[in-house]
Amino acid sequence: MTDPTLSDVRKVLGAHGYGFQYAVLRRAEELSAQQLSSWVFEAAEFPVGTADSPTHIDFILRNAHSTVYLVVECKRADPARADWCFLGAPYTRRNSSEGELVFQEVVYEAETLVASQPRTKHASLESTHLGFELRTGAKGEGIGEGKAIKDATAQVLRGANGLLDHLFPQQRAYRGDRRNVLFVPAIFTTAKLWVAKGDLSVANLTTGLLPEGWGALSSVPWLWYTHNQSPALRHRLPSSSQTPVFLSDALHAEYSRTIAIVGSDGIDAFLRADLISWL
């Protein structure tokens, strides 16, 4: 039996990503203090969820001039799989538009119950639907084991929906003027981000493989990633519209949600971007 060392502590903190989480938060605070970002710190390790599925949001930023919440999950990538690659899917839903992004919005008016609805925008930069981790050749640490993107995505969506349920309990009427509240989930990561551009539907029907020379690959500081969340992650608020007749409409209204994926080299650019005017 030996006493633990600071090296042991650093290793555990690194594996859990606490250092990266608070370094990102500190940078957000610095940019806000310098009036280079309109995002202000609201809370860290905020508890949400149910008794059967509790979780904590790494931290929440709120726009200083509007009711928009940035719900953040921080993910330190395993060095062995620290290249995250994303690409757009040629088919998402019937009648979808190119570069379509979908955010969660809550609307309420005086003396009425709140209701949720999708806020649809169109990307001015990379819009993707599929993500996977590539091997880098570096020595691994056993973090994530190839499921880092999947786990971070589920966690940030669980957090965003949990925050919505916390702010808007069911069966409660709200007084005051009409108000719209928007939730933007974001994953900050140490991974290097890549976008592959190419049509997946040109794969060979016999082998399932894409042809030689297919597509192009480029690194990006941050990107939009739209994921179809499972019903288990969805919030409990009713929808503002009737139950969609078509599955394509249900997918858009209830399940497709867009996440900002931000690499270490994109933190400043993302936090300084005027997303509020665009949203």
Does position 5 have pLDDT exceeding 80, yes or no? yes
Does position 37 have pLDDT exceeding 90, yes or no? yes
For residue 195, being part of any structural domain is answered with yes
Who has greater pLDDT, 244 or 76?
76
**Please, which pLDDT band fits residue 172 given cuts at 50, 70 and 90?**
low
Percent of the chain residues past pLDDT 70, beyond the cut: 93
- Cα 155 from Cα 57, distance rounded (Å): 8
Nearest to 101 by CA among 202, 205, 224, 14: 224
Who has greater pLDDT, 49 or 151?
151
> What is residue 47's predicted lDDT score, i.e. its pLDDT?
96
Nearest to 185 by CA among 260, 262, 266, 275: 260
Domain that holds residue 255: 6-278
> What is residue 53's predicted lDDT score, i.e. its pLDDT?
81
> What is residue 149's predicted lDDT score, i.e. its pLDDT?
96
**Please, which pLDDT band fits residue 55 given cuts at 50, 70 and 90?**
very high
For residue 123, being part of any structural domain is answered with yes
The predicted model gives 112-119 an average pLDDT of 78
For residue 1, being part of any structural domain is answered with no
Of 7-11, 26-30, 118-122, 129-133, the range with the lowest mean pLDDT is 7-11
The predicted model gives 106-133 an average pLDDT of 83
> What is residue 27's predicted lDDT score, i.e. its pLDDT?
98
> What is residue 173's predicted lDDT score, i.e. its pLDDT?
58
**Please, which pLDDT band fits residue 245 given cuts at 50, 70 and 90?**
confident
Q: How many domains does the chain have?
A: 1
> What is residue 150's predicted lDDT score, i.e. its pLDDT?
96
The predicted model gives 245-274 an average pLDDT of 94
Nearest to 226 by CA among 251, 250, 243: 251
For residue 28, being part of any structural domain is answered with yes
Does position 125 have pLDDT exceeding 80, yes or no? no
Whether 147 contacts 155, CB under 8 Å: no
Does position 20 have pLDDT exceeding 90, yes or no? yes
Give the mean pLDDT of the chain: 90
> What is residue 174's predicted lDDT score, i.e. its pLDDT?
58
Percent of the chain residues past pLDDT 90, beyond the cut: 65
Could you give the C-alpha distances from 244 to 83, 180, 240, 241, 263, in angstroms and in order?
Answer: 38, 22, 11, 8, 36
Please write down the long-range contacts of 38-43, taking CB distance under 8 Å and 24 or more positions apart: 38/63, 38/64, 38/65, 38/274, 38/276, 39/63, 39/64, 39/70, 39/271, 40/64, 42/69
